[in-house]
Amino acid sequence: MSIRDRVGEESSLHRKRITAEEIGAFCAAVGSTVKGEAPPTYMTTLRKGEFELFVKLGIPLPSILHAEQEYTYDGGGMPVGCEVEFKSGFKTLNQKRGASAAALSFLAFETEVFRTEPGPRERVRTSLTTIVVRGELP
């Protein structure tokens, strides 16, 4: 089965409780002054599903170049103490040849984040990651 045939594959479902310690450490690392909830770019820490898919698809990490990151803020926030669940999917593949005739593959992965508590389950964030992989893919 080629990599093209695997577009649409998804990671497992991951769950996480947002803690004050994690938010504090993240804010300190990026210089954010947000208090009491995850700042907008906290989505970057919820990429476990993407890395699971890299392994599942046989994409060697040293060949990956991060090309683009987009975030969509769909609903309410992610306050300290809330629980979220997230899953990533392999959305698109475009393959090209570079100037040196080397193979380049552009892959997009979408991660949806749902707040599961407090309150009803609600999608709160969506992330789209585009990577470039140098060399032939399986």
Q: What is the pTM for the complete model shown?
A: 0.92
In percent, the amount of the chain with pLDDT more than 90 equals: 78
Max CA distance (Å), the chain: 54
Question: What pLDDT, on a 0 to 100 scale, did the predictor assign at position 138?
Answer: 79
Contacts of residue 108, defined as CB under 8 A and 6 or more positions apart, other chains included, come to: 90, 91, 92, 93, 128, 129, 130
Question: What pLDDT, on a 0 to 100 scale, did the predictor assign at position 134?
Answer: 87
Whether residue 101 is predicted with pLDDT greater than 90 in this model: the reply is no
Question: What pLDDT, on a 0 to 100 scale, did the predictor assign at position 102?
Answer: 80
Q: What domains does the chain contain, in order, with CATH numbers?
A: 3-134 (3.10.129.10)
Rounded-to-integer distance, Cα 22 and Cα 34, Å:
13
Confidence of residue 98 (pLDDT cuts 50, 70, 90): low
Alpha helices (H) in the chain, listed in sequence order:
20-30, 48-57
Rounded-to-integer distance, Cα 23 and Cα 25, Å:
5
Q: Tell me the pairing of strands 122-134 and 83-97.
A: unpaired
| More confident of the two residues 59 and 137 | 59
| More confident of the two residues 74 and 70 | 70
